[in-house]
Structure 1
């Protein structure tokens, strides 16, 4: 009987007090954005994920909060579109492959170029160091330095190490994003 009341309560919350957050996921190609989004939305991790061409959108439901997540392609030809899809969102998530040390400088440059755009000022930024399950990776302190996160201003900036494959730290990601639902 308690299960029925819980379902009715959850339905009432979603129907009358629902909050939807718009989130844009960015990062270079092969950082793990699509895999992360698949796992967050209740799917399974797969090794053979096809690179995103353009963008994907998935909804992640947690209680009365729906995260509408835009996953944008990370190839150079798609990066000029990033700003357009990041304007007016509740949070920007920038995913970095912490095992691909050769691309950290490129990721930093792309992130800083984007964060300098006036149209994105004030939007909270969550940087995720993905692939923490791999052996040759940078630490979170090294990632913070490599991405020069301390010099990104005019917004809250947070950084977590995660593994979409092993689902490491994903609840912390959800909790950080949900914090912005309570600030709406």
Structure 2
């Protein structure tokens, strides 16, 4: 668990993995969730539909109603990566009317975009405290 701090907020971030066999236990981690960070591999065109379907199913959980959604679109440094607009369309984010959402292009290779995404999330949560 990592706990970065922005705007005097403390984030408790838990990576629970995205493999299909692990998704069945996701519900055990949803209680008292204030925001959702859902990382998408923007270079994996073969599995993007599966990732977006899993996101839509996750958002149906009552624990996530109305909470902000941050999607780090990882691997933006790769030449075949889908851009932010394409990812928003594939994941049907424009149909979400019950929450604020944001896609941030990121690269874990060089760290770009990570703090910008968390900064957006911190601003969403600052009035929730």
TM over 0.5: yes
Q: What's the RMSD between the two structures over aligned residues?
A: 1.6
CA distance in 2, matches of 1:83, 1:123: 16
Tell me which of the two structures has the higher relative contact order, counting C-alpha pairs closer than 8 angstroms and 6 or more residues apart: 2
Higher fraction of strand = 1
1:77 counterpart SS class: helix
What TM-score do the two structures reach when normalised by structure 2? 0.89
The counterpart of 1:101, out of the listed 30, 45, 56, is: 45
- The match for 2:123 is 179
- The match for 2:99 is 155
Query: In 1, are the aligned partners of 2:7 and 2:122 still within 8 Å (CA)?
Result: no
- The match for 2:35 is 91
Task: Please show how residues 89-168 of structure 1 align to structure 2 within 5 Å.
Answer: 89-168=33-112
Query: In 2, are the aligned partners of 1:130 and 1:161 still within 8 Å (CA)?
Result: yes
In structure 1, list runs of 5 or more residues that go unmatched: 1-56
Q: Deviations over 1:103-122 (max 9, x none)?
A: 11001110001111223211
In structure 2, list runs of 5 or more residues that go unmatched: none
- The match for 1:11 is none
What TM-score do the two structures reach when normalised by structure 1? 0.64
Higher fraction of helix = 1
List structure 1 segments (4+ residues) > 4 angstroms apart after TM superposition.
none
2:120 counterpart SS class: helix
- The match for 2:15 is 71
Structure with larger Rg: 1
CA distance in 2, matches of 1:62, 1:156: 19
